[in-house]
Structures are given as structure tokens and as C-alpha cells.
Amino acid sequence: MDKFYITTAIDYVNGAPHIGHAYEKIITDVIARHYSQRTDDMYFLTGTDEHGIKIQKTAAAKGITPKELCDENAQKFKDAWNALDINYNQFIRTTDDYHEKAVQKIFKKLVEKGDIYKHSYEGLYCQGCECFLNPKDLTEDGLCPDHLKKPEVVKEENYFFKLTKYKDAIIKHIKDNPDFIVPAFRANEVLNQLEDIQDISVSRAKSNVQWGIDVLDDPEQSIYVWIDALSNYITALGYDTETNSEKYNKYWPADVHVIGKDILKFHSIYWPAFLMALDLPLPKHIFAHGWITIDETKMSKSLGNVISPTSVIENFELKEPDAFRYYMATSAPCGRDGNYSDDDFKEKVNAHLANSMGNLLNRTLSMLVKYFDGEIKEGSKVASHPELVSGSLELLKKALGTVKIVENHFNHFEIAEAAQEIMNIVDLTNKFVTDNAPWTLAKEEKMAECAQVLTTVLEVMCIVAALIYPYCPNIAKSMAKQLSFDLSVKLDDLTADNIKNGKLISKEEITPVFLRVDSELADKSSKK
């Protein structure tokens, strides 16, 4: 794999980030970190969407300029992602000068090509969706189905993009590339939407929307959100219609756009059409994730159940965000909705990270110190005596096989499913310890067998550390440090021979990689 370019949706800065924003950034970061273990050239883009009527109105209500509101809230997003260890390469803001200039050039090129034309129009406009809606899309009460508000009747002379011109080409692309839209069941939704697609408004009259990018040669019009926002994926790389930058040539097309299912239409219909009109390649995949509910209830300001991205970390006094990252990344199967609850969070991370994985490493290292003074004995590895301990060779083969299974899940953006495979090998390794009882082998003075059991477990834990790293980078680093394991190794280079012979660890160097959320030790540790 020569490169991997991954993007998130850019977040609208009308308000502060919440747990739904965090979910998308976490799963994208998990995917990005996984692919950084498979290629030397991974590029991760995120950012903020900063134009439009909602920002204009919110800023006016606060008595500040739209740019001041954008600056304030964009920083909140950056701070949140920093707290969650979101390791992006670039953060684009659509108020960045280079982006605005590139968008103007893109718009002008599409006008010159004849794909954008001016047209008087009257339609039903939903501010929440930032688009015009068809009457048939509304509820029986005439409300927007997503925002449950009545759209306003808007009559303007705007610029329109010839979306209908690209309808057949988009349908063909979706049918010819069954993995273009992930998960696959979403493709039928898009194909249904394409049946009665119409040309779309791509500008708003300046008299109604002042806060936007001016149309070149027509300053009475603002470039409307979708050409502005969607173009960020290429303007961030330096695309501007005239010269393709080295970075653009290197990374485009994107390997995957990670987005919420509510904006799939714009990414799988509008965006491909814009790219086709610009004669540019389409992204390889569009991964539409589900929504996160809170205690099985949809997030709503009126219900007061909107959770900030960092509140869980603060509430449970977590020193690192790993537990929250793991929980969110594993909260839903590929493309389905997930749920957050405090009780489930505590139960899951304690069971998986503390009891199963963390305790397995801790007690194995403790036995290595107790029985062998923390040394890996010569000849204790499976390769030396594969017949010595029943199941040891099979366990190592299973662990290496898990690497390929996890990679395959990530190929299909099945992040929760990949994590389950990691926990499965952890559970098998725990069973291997129970079945072979190294404490009993030591008591019976079967030290060669005891040494092989412990060494085999530690070899597996190196593989587990590598696999869990995208979800829990801090925990993985702690595991790797105690195992003297190089976490920078590529997944394809992982072997069953990661532990060196000789002194590995002393009693003082053994530390729990994750303390139970509700433990007295965790409370004391965090309050220190």
C-alpha cells in the first residue's frame, strides 16, 4: 500500500462539539492509526465548516461577528480532538484564505463549463439541512423529517448545478463499484434518491446570506454550502483548478470519506457529480456511520442529554482517553447506530481492558518475576520445543491469524468487529493460562513447561499490543514498554518471535496498563 488518505466530515461550528462528533473522529482516528501500521504514508484530514445562515444568525444573536464565532468554536473542536488523542495531519477551516480562493476558482470553472447556470427558483428551504427539500420528503405535518421543523418558502435567483446531467454516470459508478458506499445496504437508499434527483442550488442571494464566499464576477451571490464544504477534501491538498499541487497528486483520490449517514446523499451524489464535472477521480470509499444515542434516546438540546466529547473522561477521572476511545469505537457494528450509557461504559471497559487484557499481561509478568526473576529463559520459546506445552503452537498461529482477520475487517471499515477479534484472542490466551496453570507447573517443578507457557502468553501480548494500538494508543504503549516490544513494527512484519531472551522486567517495572474505572486504585491514581 503506497498511501492512505482518510477524511472526516468537517463539523459545522454553529455550536460546540458533542459526543456524536467525537464518535466520528474516534473511529476515523482508529482507522487512520491502523493504516499507519500498514503504510508509511497515511494522511488524515479533519476540520470545520464555517459559512452559512445559521452561523450568521447565531453570531448576530451573540453580538459578535461570524468570524469571531467561528474562531471561538473551531478552537473548541481542536481542543476536544487533542483531549481524545485524535492524531490528524491537517485541520482545514473553510474560512482559510487558500480554501476560499480555490472554491471560487472551482465555481468559476463549472460556470465556464456550463454545468452551473443562473435560475429563478421558489422552494422549501430547511436551515438545519442547509438545502431545499421536495414536498414529498416532508412529514405528514409538513416538517423536515430530520429536524422536525417547517421549512421556509424561499424565492431567489440563484446559481444551479446540473446534477441531472451526471445522474446516469453516478448510478453506473455505484453499481459497478459495490464497495463505493459502505456499508453496502446504504447503496440502495442512494439509488432510490437518484431516481428523482433535480438540479441543485449552489448559491444564495447575498441579501439573504451574507456570510459566505463571494461568487467571482457576481458579488451579489454567496457560494452555497455544498460546493464550499465538500471541496475541502481537495482544497486541503492544494487543488485550485489551475495547477495540481504535489500533495494533491500524491493523495487524491481519497481512500475513504468517513461521514454520518445523514449526509450520505451529499457525499454519494453531489460530491461525485462535482468531481465528474471537474474531470477528477472519485474517492474509493464513502463510509457512512450511524448515530450515537444516549441511554437509547436520540441526543437533543431540549431533552438536555447532549454530552460533550470530554465529559466522560472528566466524569470518570480518566488519566488517558483510551477507555472512552475503545468504548466509542466498539459501540456499533459497521454503519449501524450505537448507544452510550455510563453503566455500559464502565462494565465494558472494565471487562475488556482491565479484567481480560490488562490483568492477563499483569499476572503473566508477575509470574515471570516470581518464578524466573523476570527473565526469558533460553529454550523457553515454542520454536525450541513445540511439543512441550499442548496448545502453545496453535495459540501463536491463532494470534498471527488474527492479524489478517483484523486487517480484513478494517478493509471493510468494520471497526467494532475487528476489536471483537482482538478480544477473542485475549480470551483464548486467558483460557490457555487457565488450562495450563503455570502456578501448578512451578509448584510441581516443571519449570521448562512453566517458562514456555509464560513466554507464549507474552509473545501473544506483543501481537495484541500492536492490534489494540489504534483503539488505545496509550495502553498499547504501556504494554509495549513492559514487553520491550517495538510498537512501530508494521502489521505485516509481526511474527511469533517478538520477545528477546534474557532479563525482561523487574517487579518494580510492572504496572497495570488499565485500572478498573470504579476501583479505589483508579480513583486514587487519577486524583494524584
Please choose, from the candidates 372, 101, 404, the residue with its C-alpha nearest in 3D space to the C-alpha of residue 240.
Answer: 101
Considering 144, 450, 462, 472, which one is annotated as catalytic? 144
Picking from 21, 29, 73, the residue whose alpha carbon sits closest to that of residue 299 is: 21
Q: Cα(298)–Cα(288) distance, rounded to whole angstroms? A: 18
Given 21, 265, 352, 381, the catalytic residue: 21
Which of 136, 301, 527, 528 is flagged as catalytic?
301
- CA terminus-to-terminus distance, the chain: 44
51 is a catalytic site residue: no
Spatial distance between the Cα atoms of 172 and 108, rounded to a whole number of angstroms: 27
From 67, 147, 397, 443, the catalytic residue: 147
The SS3 assignment for 127 reads coil
Strand 338-340 to 502-503 pairing? unpaired
Query: Residue 144 catalytic?
Result: yes
Q: Is 448 exposed, middle or buried (0-12, 13-18, 19+ CB in 10 A)?
A: middle
Asked if 298 is an active-site residue, the reply is yes
Characterise 305 by phi-psi region: left (phi > 0), alpha (psi -120 to 50), beta (else).
Answer: alpha
CA–CA separation, 465 and 470 (whole Å): 10
Is 129 noted as a catalytic residue in this protein?
A: yes
CA dihedral of residues 36, 38, 39, 40 (deg, nearest 10): 60
Active-site residue identified among 34, 78, 129, 265: 129
Peptide bond into 183 cis (omega under 30): yes
Q: Does the annotation count 412 as an active-site position?
A: no
Catalytic residue (choose from 70, 78, 126, 285): 126
Residue 407: count of CB within 10 angstroms of its CB: 17
Q: Is 18 a catalytic residue?
A: yes
Q: Which helix (H) or strand (E) holds 255?
A: none
Active site residue 34: no
As a whole number of angstroms, the distance between CA 351 and CA 347 comes to: 6
334 is catalytic: no
Instruction: Name the residues annotated as catalytic.
Output: 18, 21, 126, 129, 144, 147, 298, 301
